[in-house]
């Protein structure tokens, strides 16, 4: 079994910028490795936080903020330990794709991973079993990807067995990040995401979607930067939280939140991000330009809530998610 080897020492004080060397032996490169970037910034004992982006390669706001952070932050600025991974699924980040072009792996569906699997599964295994046990909190920044556009939100995730203390700490942290909308995910029967790995490891999981459409949202970059600054302050790693923080709106995604295209065509949306809708309201029409005498098919919403996510490309196949809702969360 060929394992991932880090070029950094996790117990050493100071700032190190190095790589996780993921074995990848191919015709072009018999003894090759994929160098997944990692920074370790440590100043003595204290709180421990892992920050990641590029879990999905086509989601960029977190990649920008974490890369800038590695350049600007020094060990003397902090207390405790930061692990920063700005391009977690490196092949996908370089390929501008959601999934890895090397093994078709969707990293956020590959947990708990496999040390003998393809590169994506090796990375998942290393994150869950070698990195997460070193930290108290993991924050993984997403951005919708090429196929979706999001109204930005921060999120936290916990499993059905989470203690009240774990839930309270998760909620306290995520509601102080300066993101006006917060999503709570109570994970049931899910195993394969990075947050599920965090749940298994007893680590507080913070996430969120900060943009979309495969672009770099300026507002999203600012929100991720604020969220990172507040995470460092809230955990006692660097700085102080501002006083009198406004309460965000807390939301959940219900079982009837997602809307799917019923057949191939061009989807014309009937709503904008942030619109409030009821079950039965029109989500959009599928048109058939290749058969222009055919009437469009109406696609309704199945539940009540706010439109927080919309599909970006116009052309759809049957089964493409065209929108999803979120509704107020009740504990």
Q: Closer to Zn ion by CB, 98 or 176: give it.
A: 98
The nearest distance, CB 145 to Zn ion, in angstroms, is 6
How many Å apart are CA 106 and CA 97, to the nearest integer?
10
Query: Is the Cβ of residue 184 or residue 235 nearer to Zn ion in the bound state?
Result: 184
CB of residue 80 vs Zn ion: minimum separation in angstroms? 27
For Zn ion, give the closer residue by CB, 59 or 73.
59
- Least distance in angstroms from the C-beta of 109 to Zn ion: 10
Min dist CB 213 to Zn ion, Å, is: 13
How many Å is the Cα radius of gyration of the chain? 20
Which residues of the chain form contacts with Zn ion (CB under 5 A)? Answer: 56, 59, 142
Q: Give 66 or 78: the residue with its C-beta nearer to Zn ion.
A: 66
Instruction: Scan for tokens 């020094």, then name that residue.
Output: 74
56 or 181: whose CB is closer to Zn ion? 56
Label residue 168 exposed, middle or buried (CB < 10 Å: 0-12, 13-18, 19+): exposed
For Zn ion, which is the closer residue by CB, 29 or 191? 191
What would the two tokens of residue 143 be? 């951005």
Q: Which is nearer to Zn ion, 48 or 98 (CB)?
A: 98
Based on CB atoms, which residue is closest to Zn ion, 104 or 279?
A: 104
| Min CB(258)–Zn ion separation in Å | 16
CB of 55 to Zn ion, least distance (A): 6
**CA angle at 117 for the pair 115 and 119, rounded to the nearest 5°:** 90
Minimum CB distance to Zn ion, residue 148 (Å): 9
Q: In the bound complex, what is the minimum distance in angstroms from residue 142's beta carbon to Zn ion?
A: 3
Quote the CA–CA distance of 171 and 168 in Å, as a whole number.
5
Residue 207 C-beta: closest distance to Zn ion, Å:
9
For residue 120, the Cα-to-chain-centroid distance in whole angstroms is 16
> Which is nearer to Zn ion, 60 or 126 (by Cβ)?
60
């Amino acid at each position: 079994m060929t394992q991932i080897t880090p070029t950094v020492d996790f117990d050493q004080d100071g700032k190190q910028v190095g790589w996780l060397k993921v074995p990848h032996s191919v015709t072009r490169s018999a003894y090759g490795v994929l160098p997944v970037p990692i920074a370790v910034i440590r100043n003595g004992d204290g709180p421990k936080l892992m920050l990641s982006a590029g879990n999905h390669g086509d989601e960029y706001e977190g990649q920008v903020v974490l890369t800038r952070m590695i350049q600007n932050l020094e060990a003397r600025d902090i207390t405790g330990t930061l692990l920063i991974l700005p391009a977690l699924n490196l092949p996908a980040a370089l390929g501008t794709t959601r999934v890895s072009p090397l093994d078709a792996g969707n990293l956020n569906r590959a947990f708990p991973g496999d040390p003998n699997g393809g590169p994506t599964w090796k990375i998942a295994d290393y994150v869950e079993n070698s990195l997460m046990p070193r930290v108290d909190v993991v924050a993984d920044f997403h951005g919708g990807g090429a196929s979706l556009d999001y109204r930005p939100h921060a999120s936290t995730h916990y499993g059905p067995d989470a203690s009240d203390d774990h839930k309270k700490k998760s909620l306290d942290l995520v509601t102080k990040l300066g993101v006006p909308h917060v999503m709570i995910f109570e994970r049931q029967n899910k195993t394969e995401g990075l947050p599920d790995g965090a749940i298994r490891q007893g680590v507080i999981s913070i996430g969120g979607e900060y943009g979309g459409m495969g672009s770099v949202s300026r507002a999203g970059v600012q929100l991720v930067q604020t969220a990172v600054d507040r995470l460092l302050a809230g955990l006692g790693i660097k700085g102080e939280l501002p006083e009198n923080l406004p309460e965000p709106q807390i939301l959940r995604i219900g079982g009837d939140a997602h809307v799917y295209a019923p057949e191939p065509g061009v989807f014309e949306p009937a709503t904008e991000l942030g619109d409030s809708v009821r079950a039965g309201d029109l989500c959009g029409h599928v048109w058939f330009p290749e058969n222009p005498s055919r009437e469009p098919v109406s696609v309704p919403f199945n539940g009540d809530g706010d439109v927080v996510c919309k599909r970006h490309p116009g052309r759809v196949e049957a089964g493409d998610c065209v929108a999803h809702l979120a509704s107020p969360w009740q504990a």
